[in-house]
Structure 1
Amino acid sequence: MFVVKAFDAISKESGRIAITEIVCNMLRTVIETTPDDLVAVVYLLANRIASAHEGLELGIGDASIIKALAEACGAKEAHVKKQYKELGDLGLVAKASRSSQPLMRKPEALTVAKVFDTFRLIAKESGKDSQDKKKNHIKALLVAATDCEPQYLIRLLQTKLRIGLAEQTLLTALGHASFYSLRHSSPPAKVENPLEEAAKIVKQVYSVIPVYDKIIPALLSAGVWNLTKACSFSPGIPVGPMLAKPTKGVHEIVEKFQDMEFTCEYKYDGERAQIHYLEDGSVEIYSRNAERNTGKFPDVVAAVTRLKKPPVTSFVLDCELVAYDREKQKIQPFQILSTRARKNVLLSEIKVNVCIYAFDILYLNGQQLLQEQLNVRRENLYKSFQEEVGFFQFATALTSNDLEEIQKFLEDAVNSSSEGLIIKTLNRDATYEPSKRSNNWLKLKKDYMESIGDSLDLVPIAAFHGRGKRTGVYGAFLLACYDNDKEEFQSICKIGTGFSEAMLEERSASLRSKVIPKPKSYYRYSDSLSPDVWFEPTEVWEVKAADLTISPVHRAAIGIVNPEKGISLRFPRLLRVREDKNPEQASSSDMVADMYNAQKHNQRDNLDDNEDD
């Protein structure tokens, strides 16, 4: 009940500071009274049951939840479905469906440990009657639930908690709570703001070890100031990949990296992967979202095992897996790679070959290398592996600050079917920064030469029915970017052109199952838009546009560039669906504002611009 009351309090607040305070006080209470529950409480607040790399999911659809809810309340399934349609939130249906069944004996009150353990049990059920067993577990929880517990139980089970609590806020609150509660030692002498520093430490450690089961026991036993020592990066747990910032042209790069040595590498159009080789010879492959992809790439497991040099006993490799035609010795586009099966791939049945393009090494023979400069990490990378064309190659690289040379290198990259270049500092400010979009890595894509530079990753939140030839499918979609601070999706454009009929049918079919009765409270859009249907935020689309413009209708980055107006895209077109991203990883409103400002800056440089915003 205590946790649910906190959920309720958080959902009623919109300010980040107020939410951080509520979560901090809640965590302090747990630390003081039942510290053994802290791991479970933090996972429930994050609306997860395990860290991403464990791949443990509840595996239950709405149908099972509706069945369990109907049985627990003594209602008919049809009645529950009808209410769901009206209210648009199964949690609210559960709250309204007080059980009318008399119970022989009152079940024991739900505890945090009981709920969390049951969730993990549900996730681990497999085999013939697993859906039935899962449903019975849910029913038992609902029968014991009181007050507003059913509402949040259901939302947790649907992994749609949606109380406005972002993971970064949760980590900040955990840092604050551990500073107040765990006075193992006083802060280091130079720290001016210990509260901020505690939050920074927790976030930093989480980017290297995104596993609460490891961080929280270390916090409780060693305290926040010793957390970095107590939790160090090791193979088997993926770190958040370092990301690059978009840039508009070679001139900008040379300007940004004045007086610094930097290197350019081909930016390959494949799937980012982190390959972990453990002391016992086992290999794990993780996606950019820390999901375990080992079963998808048995050929990659075989290649790294074969091509590592004999002295190498353990490593963590940052690389791109790219579809490759070994007969023609040619890179193939991402679309070909995306046709590979996702799970339990057999070596004998692989039709799309991949080549590993390695560009960084984060751990080698028991030593972590995150704090080493790139030139040192790269030296370690080159000496640890044997290249073999079409199986394992180092990213093609050039170290130069000659404009013409870099321009030529960019053209070569594009001609070799790469997307462009990634430019990195080499021996100063060149450590590996997990989960950060750093100024020390810049990306320069071929598209940047044409128009607004980078493509954007956007989330379809609504659609308009097709007319004429497009009757029966959606004719246009409303896309949104994500505001990390406000935790809301903000509309940025309508997109209806550039779709082949097959693509339109595919996207419409995929989104039909995601229709919701009304827009989410965290969608920002103009009332003048009035779409025909709204969607649960589930997909991420990569979109290219001619330029960005100030808009009275759209709400992207509202208040950043203009106090009352947002930014919209002109002539957007769909490039592809990004299956490696979840909606909260869509392009941020800050990034949209940066792109708009960079475009204005570039237009001014051209002098022939006559702005009309």
Structure 2
Amino acid sequence: MSQKSITSFFKRTPKKTEEEDVEKEKLSPTSNLNKNGDVSEVTAQENGKRSKRSRSSSSETKSPEISSKESSPVKPEKKKKIKRQRIQSSESEPESPPKSPVEQADIKLVKSDDPPKTYDSPKSKKSKKQDKVLENKIKKEKTSPKSPKSPNKNNEKSKESPMSKFMVKVEKSDDSDKKNHDINKENKQNSVDNKTKLVAEVDYNPSKPKYHPINDACWSKGQEVPYLALAKTLEAIEATSARLKMVEILSNYFRSVIALTPEDLLPSIYLCLNKLAPAYHSLELGIAETYLMKAVARCTGRTLAQLRSAAQRGGDLGRVAQDARAGQRTMFAAPPLRVRKVFAALREIAALAGHDSVNKKIGKIQTLYVACRHSEARYLIRSLEGKLRVGLAEQSVLQALALACANTPPQAFAPGAPDPGPAQLDVASTMTPDAFKALVDELALTIKTTYCECPNYDLMVPVLLQHGVRALPDHCRLTPGIPLKPMLAHPSRGVHEVFTRFEKEQFTCEFKYDGERAQIHVPGDEAPRFADAAVFSRNQENNTSKYPDILRRLPALLKDSVTSCVLDCEAVAYDTEKKQILPFQVLSTRKRKDASEDQIKVQVCVFVFDLLYLNGKALVREPLEVRRQLLRDNFQEVEGEWKFAEGGDCSDEESVQRLLDAAVRASCEGLMLKALRGPRARYDIARRSHNWLKLKKDYLEGVGDTVDAVVLGAYRGRGKRAGLFGGFLLACREDDRYQSLCKIGTGFSDDDLKTLTDTLQQHVIDGPRNYYMYDASHAPDVWLAAASVWEVRCADLSLSPAHRAAIGLVDPERGISLRFPRFVRVREDKSPEQATSAEQLARMYLAQDQVKNSAKHLDHDDFY
């Protein structure tokens, strides 16, 4: 189409008036209705626009010139069709009338009465919302008046504004919100308060002054105790050196466990002692340090060489594992460790045996390790190693348990017990210091004595929690099958000292046999059950499989009057042909476990010297005179198999000297001197008591006793000893630490050095442990793990600035050392924990003639 024809078309076509547009829009079927049923002018106008565009689009395209010419008359129409203005002034949604002062007051009232904003879980929000809707429906049906039906519903709705609808809903739901808020306000506030009182696990501090067992704990009542709480407790104990403070810190942790989760007290005690079960169960982890390094390496991506080098520098694999875990990031965090779950996992690891058990153990260790937080990794790895190294001895743990039970009585929190009240959380605050100390001493003596007679926490802890400490002796008694810790003797330097100790008292002398302590248990009711008989060592280890020949001979020892018994004996290597005692070294060649009687070459004779239990009655509190008479009345000797300890009652030095000479001639070590009558003649379980004295032939030569020392290091030999270890660094024990005592290089034969070198090679480590106390000038060429115990004799004891043994007990800056030490033998029957202690060395030093200081402050008996 030409330009002229287009122009003429627009000239001929008249413009539509506004009235025609409105009329057309009214008649148009495409017009939309608004919410109130009215015709929307905006929609109609938009439809009109679309119709104009459709007509113009059917024609040919305008030229730019024509468009510019025709644009001027169209402009006024565009001004009339302002979309925003028509929407704002549209009558399809009429404006709500202005609010009256009453309605405005209602709005303000709603705002002021609105309950404080709280945050709930999605489930609680959903349930609350459903409850609110139901309440509003019921209330609306009951309270709202029935209005007459209006013929024009649309008009009524059109008069209501959205804001007024919202206000009606708010006002209706306001009463129900207030009720719900009032009902749950107190419970919510209490729950919030409890949450705010809970201490963060990483901030748990049992060493806090005026510790509160609930408010200062990092877990709530009934919740499993976090393993991090125990790790924080051990960390605080490790950071202090004062024994009383250690006991206080541990007792605070025990108090929280008793008050909140008493079920976790038993695993907590075992983990603090680094035990999994009673000693006679022989349940051990048996994990070498290399396997632990493998587990840590697999979890952290480090190599064995890196871990070994770091452990050598720091001397503590636990800290190395903690540092490695701290630098590790995981995509998904493992569930937090709990005390009871860690303890159960350690028991599972110890029980694994057989094919591929090592890899299974490493896998379980990895599972525990990846879940560790903060210091948990340090103490987990140390527990797996077998040593916590925090300075806690078993007697300290028992003392802490007694302190916790005195301050927070466990029976007050037993299931089914009445509300104990705040006074039972801190009994010390209700008593004078002297009265509370007396209470603690009483409970500590009860706990320690009961543990000596029944050394099984699995039996003691449930009774303690249910009935209290004072009920322990009634429920936990000496029982055949549960070994006791034996009574031990103090050394004596000469016959004259014996009469000083037993002045105006009767005592007896018995030969001291050079063998292995054997505690024989025979259970039974109406008759002895020999099939269940057992033999235990001085360490409470089960040696039943080591001595099948002893069990076979038991019926010959017991008379018909015996139904059950516990005997304290000494198993000695014996030559049945010559009828004489053989040295201890011969006995040590016997197979230690699962021995077959037909393959036994070294025969033993058992020397019975005490009777602890007979026919259902414990005899440990009876005097020795009574126990000895019952022993001889109910048991009988068998030549070469069973014998009573030889000896006799003495009243003067000459008789003691004669018996000592006889004992030496009989290949015995010396004499045991024991109180015969009176309260001092009882059997003191687990004590190194002054009521028993040992007098060895070696004591008369100098120091008064041999020393059982732990080997910490070795020096390479020169000359004739080239290729072997020629000297050794020895130490005494002080709780969980080892203090250097002396260097030793004499008393060894060539064969001894070869044997010792081969044996000690298995214990070589990369560097000294952090619990080795020594002077740098005495650092050995090769460091050894504290595993071997040697018996050493010396001329006397002296103070040394270079050694650390018993430092602070006798001299604040110098330790005790041995002068002219000489190797006697390897004590295979003793563990490093049973080596000579620093306190024993201090007593020995102060007992020397050349030392004038009194030793009264160290002269006391205690549990070991």
Using the size of structure 2 for normalisation, the TM-score is 0.67
1:477-522 deviation digits (Å, cap 9, x = unpaired): 11112234xx532222110111112212222333333334443333
Task: Give the superposition deviation at 1:316.
Answer: 0.5
> Hey, what does 1:425 align to over in structure 2?
675
> Hey, what does 1:609 align to over in structure 2?
none
Task: Give the superposition deviation at 1:167.
Answer: 1.4
The alignment status of 1:304 with 2:554, answered yes or no, reads yes
Residues 1:248 and 1:555: Cα distance change in structure 2 (over 3 Å): same
Residues 1:156 and 1:384: Cα distance change in structure 2 (over 3 Å): same
> Hey, what does 1:180 align to over in structure 2?
407
Task: Give the superposition deviation at 1:105.
Answer: 4.5
Determine which of 428, 438, 442 is the counterpart of 2:689: 438
> Hey, what does 1:155 align to over in structure 2?
382
Task: Give the superposition deviation at 1:190.
Answer: 9.9
Alignment of 1:455-470 (within 5 A): 455-470=706-721
Question: Does the Cα contact within 8 Å between 2:316 and 2:770 map onto a contact in 1?
Answer: no
1:382-428 deviation digits (Å, cap 9, x = unpaired): 11212011100000020121322221111111101011100101111
Distance in 2, Cα, partners of 1:171 & 1:518: 33
The alignment status of 1:80 with 2:331, answered yes or no, reads no
Distance in 2, Cα, partners of 1:469 & 1:120: 49
Question: Does the Cα contact within 8 Å between 1:74 and 1:100 map onto a contact in 2?
Answer: no
3-state SS of 1:491 partner: strand
> Hey, what does 2:261 align to over in structure 1?
34
> Hey, what does 1:610 align to over in structure 2?
none
Q: Which has the higher strand share?
A: 1
Distance in 2, Cα, partners of 1:149 & 1:531: 33
Larger radius of gyration: 2
Task: Give the superposition deviation at 1:184.
Answer: 4.5
> Hey, what does 2:294 align to over in structure 1?
67
The alignment status of 1:560 with 2:809, answered yes or no, reads yes
Question: Does the Cα contact within 8 Å between 1:222 and 1:230 map onto a contact in 2?
Answer: no
Which residue identity lines up with residue 389 of structure 2 in the other structure? R
Distance in 2, Cα, partners of 1:458 & 1:562: 21
The alignment status of 1:493 with 2:738, answered yes or no, reads no
Residues 1:602 and 1:458: Cα distance change in structure 2 (over 3 Å): same
1:285-329 deviation digits (Å, cap 9, x = unpaired): 111111111000001111223321122111110010000011111
> Hey, what does 1:478 align to over in structure 2?
729
Which residue identity lines up with residue 686 of structure 2 in the other structure? S
> Hey, what does 1:608 align to over in structure 2?
none
> Hey, what does 1:582 align to over in structure 2?
831
Question: Does the Cα contact within 8 Å between 1:73 and 1:99 map onto a contact in 2?
Answer: no
Distance in 2, Cα, partners of 1:596 & 1:243: 20
> Hey, what does 1:254 align to over in structure 2?
499
3-state SS of 2:849 partner: helix
Alignment of 1:305-384 (within 5 A): 305-384=555-634
1:42-71 deviation digits (Å, cap 9, x = unpaired): 100001111111101112212322222222
Task: Give the superposition deviation at 1:214.
Answer: 1.4
Task: Give the superposition deviation at 1:78.
Answer: 4.0
3-state SS of 2:607 partner: strand
The alignment status of 1:220 with 2:447, answered yes or no, reads no
Distance in 2, Cα, partners of 1:433 & 1:356: 22
The alignment status of 1:97 with 2:342, answered yes or no, reads no
Residues 1:176 and 1:603: Cα distance change in structure 2 (over 3 Å): closer
Root-mean-square deviation (CA, aligned residues, Å) is 2.3
Task: Give the superposition deviation at 1:244.
Answer: 0.7
> Hey, what does 2:335 align to over in structure 1?
108
> Hey, what does 2:452 align to over in structure 1?
207
Determine which of 242, 246, 271 is the counterpart of 1:19: 246
Using the size of structure 1 for normalisation, the TM-score is 0.93
> Hey, what does 1:413 align to over in structure 2?
663
Question: Does the Cα contact within 8 Å between 2:325 and 2:370 map onto a contact in 1?
Answer: no
Residues 1:421 and 1:74: Cα distance change in structure 2 (over 3 Å): same
Task: Give the superposition deviation at 1:73.
Answer: 2.3
Residues 1:288 and 1:496: Cα distance change in structure 2 (over 3 Å): same
Bigger shift: 145-154 or 490-499?
145-154
Distance in 2, Cα, partners of 1:603 & 1:17: 30
Determine which of 276, 281, 284 is the counterpart of 1:57: 284
Distance in 2, Cα, partners of 1:379 & 1:418: 24
3-state SS of 1:356 partner: strand
Alignment of 1:131-142 (within 5 A): 131-142=358-369
The alignment status of 1:596 with 2:845, answered yes or no, reads yes
Task: Give the superposition deviation at 1:13.
Answer: 1.2
> Hey, what does 2:538 align to over in structure 1?
288
Residues 1:191 and 1:354: Cα distance change in structure 2 (over 3 Å): farther
Distance in 2, Cα, partners of 1:99 & 1:551: 42
Distance in 1, Cα, partners of 2:623 & 2:810: 36
Bigger shift: 562-571 or 93-102?
93-102
Distance in 2, Cα, partners of 1:80 & 1:183: 44
Task: Give the superposition deviation at 1:100.
Answer: 8.0
Residues 1:72 and 1:246: Cα distance change in structure 2 (over 3 Å): same
Question: Does the Cα contact within 8 Å between 1:88 and 1:516 map onto a contact in 2?
Answer: no
> Hey, what does 2:372 align to over in structure 1?
145
> Hey, what does 2:177 align to over in structure 1?
none
Task: Give the superposition deviation at 1:72.
Answer: 2.2
Bigger shift: 386-395 or 578-587?
578-587
Question: Does the Cα contact within 8 Å between 1:6 and 1:22 map onto a contact in 2?
Answer: yes
Which residue identity lines up with residue 111 of structure 1 in the other structure? R
Paired residues in the alignment total 601
The alignment status of 1:265 with 2:510, answered yes or no, reads yes
Bigger shift: 70-79 or 376-385?
70-79
Distance in 1, Cα, partners of 2:456 & 2:401: 14
Determine which of 222, 241, 246 is the counterpart of 2:486: 241
Unaligned 5+ segments in structure 1 are 605-613
1:579-604 deviation digits (Å, cap 9, x = unpaired): 22222221122222222232225999
Bigger shift: 586-595 or 93-102?
93-102
Distance in 1, Cα, partners of 2:617 & 2:446: 21
Residues 1:106 and 1:552: Cα distance change in structure 2 (over 3 Å): closer
3-state SS of 1:98 partner: helix
Distance in 1, Cα, partners of 2:851 & 2:403: 42
Residues 1:570 and 1:601: Cα distance change in structure 2 (over 3 Å): closer
Question: Does the Cα contact within 8 Å between 1:456 and 1:587 map onto a contact in 2?
Answer: yes
Question: Does the Cα contact within 8 Å between 2:514 and 2:584 map onto a contact in 1?
Answer: yes
Question: Does the Cα contact within 8 Å between 1:304 and 1:392 map onto a contact in 2?
Answer: no
Determine which of 432, 439, 455 is the counterpart of 1:194: 439
> Hey, what does 2:55 align to over in structure 1?
none
Bigger shift: 207-216 or 371-380?
207-216
Bigger shift: 213-222 or 63-72?
63-72
Distance in 1, Cα, partners of 2:779 & 2:291: 33
Distance in 2, Cα, partners of 1:144 & 1:212: 28
Unaligned 5+ segments in structure 2 are 1-227, 413-423, 428-433, 854-864
Question: Does the Cα contact within 8 Å between 1:262 and 1:426 map onto a contact in 2?
Answer: yes
Show structure 1 runs of 4+ deviating over 6 A. 99-102, 189-192
Task: Give the superposition deviation at 1:174.
Answer: 0.6
Question: Does the Cα contact within 8 Å between 2:315 and 2:769 map onto a contact in 1?
Answer: no
> Hey, what does 1:48 align to over in structure 2?
275
